[in-house]
Amino acid sequence: MSNVVAIVGRPNVGKSTLFNRLIGERKSIVDNISGVTRDRIYGFSDWNGKNFTVIDTGGFVHGSDDIFEAAIRMQVQIAIEEASVILFMADVTTGITDLDDEIADMLRKGKKKVICIVNKVDNGQREFLANEFWALGFENTVFLSSITGSGTGELLDMITDFLPDEEEEETTSELPRIAIVGQPNVGKSSLTNSLIGEERNIVTDIPGTTRDSIYIKYEKFGKEFYLIDTAGIRKKNKVHEDLEFYSVIRALSAIDEADVCILMLDASLGIESQDLTIMSLILKRKKGLVILVNKWDLIEKDTNTSRDFEKDLRERIAPFTDVPIVFVSVHEKQRIFKAMETALEVFENRTRKIKTSELNDVMLAEIERISPPTHRGKFIKIKYITQLPLHYPAFAFFCNHPKHIKENYRNFLENKMREHWNFSGVPIHIFFREK
């Protein structure tokens, strides 16, 4: 289940201000996607131990100051289909407008959780006037001021109450879930079709999922896994929305639901800023990563072409360079099965469990060889290490002064772990705790 929270509403009600507050107060990083009409489109937030993605739909309206009602209707419709929770925002200073009524009608017909937000309620008189908005018929209505922040705590509590617990997000299947993501026209659909096209009856839906995401089951050559539909395998007559908004929100959902993400690049373009943005999304979500360089058959080659390309690519993606890179031609069906084998290897790396005794024997020897730097004359001693029971590689190092261990020593420990165990394609998370 992907935790996507979409803010919808007519123009100038304060959607972007609320968006900035929801992600800024949580110290999250806003990622930029080039090619859309505004800089800040989506960001990450966490509250009460739950992580979720916030979408600012106002950022997807095309044109300048002339905002067409048809575009707003499209955004609301996409939010109804794709988001987990919808924040419907209105303005107390203008009261209920005809467009507010129309948006409310659309949202009431959907089955998603909706929170009605009455913004700019920053004094007693406006709080009295805000009671008018109960007439829109939403049980969950919050009065707040996105500028001052009053009321946002109550809103965040309500949002997280509607989101599933992390354990509930996992599907009942233990099969790896692989998502193919990347910019348009890099060959995502062609790769999917090449993998499933030889045996049509392998396409199935996982029953019981809370969203309408399509999972494609692959069973062939002794391999079994799910491909998550990011290319939009839907009937043509249903794809009539704002495609740019649709593709972004679907990609976010696919990353959330996957165990491993295959980031596809166009060999003729190399890695671009938007690819790096997608990569940062994958790593922040603690997913496995494989980089697939497609259209390799179109590149003029000499003896060192692939070596030089890979070297340049690793320099661009630094500091996280322990990533498998596979050169393929989907059109010629060259090495596409090698790509999937690599993705399955990364899945194994992501689910790797190391015995506590082995972990301590190896890492305590490395720590004894190179100890943490002292802090103001205090010696830092790491006594015990254990792997945390999470669905991604995370380790707790117990020591006497956990707050004084520098980032460069954390990097040293991670590099040593990668030397001793295969975590290729997987981010490692190290926590220092007081013994």
- Per-residue pLDDT tens digits of the chain, which is 435 residues long: 467 888 888 888 888 888 888 887 433 333 433 333 333 366 778 888 788 888 877 644 444 344 455 666 666 677 677 788 999 999 999 999 988 998 899 888 888 899 999 999 988 899 999 999 999 999 999 999 988 888 999 999 999 999 877 544 444 457 899 999 887 778 887 888 788 764 332 333 333 332 334 567 788 777 888 887 665 433 334 434 444 455 566 677 788 889 999 999 999 988 988 788 788 888 988 999 999 999 998 888 888 888 999 999 999 998 999 999 999 998 888 998 999 999 999 999 999 999 999 999 999 999 999 999 988 888 999 999 999 999 899 999 999 998 989 999 999 999 999 999 999 999 999 999 987
Which pLDDT belongs to residue 300?
85
Residue 79: predicted pLDDT:
67
Select from 314, 272, 193 the least CA-distant residue to 34.
Answer: 272
- Among 401, 376, 397, 400, which residue's Cα sits nearest to residue 388? 397
pTM above 0.85, yes or no: no
Q: What is the pLDDT of residue 39?
A: 34
Q: In the numeric block, which tokens belong to residue 416?
A: 């040593």
- Cα angle 183, 186, 188 (rounded to 5 degrees) comes to 90
**According to the model, what pLDDT value does residue 284 have?**
86
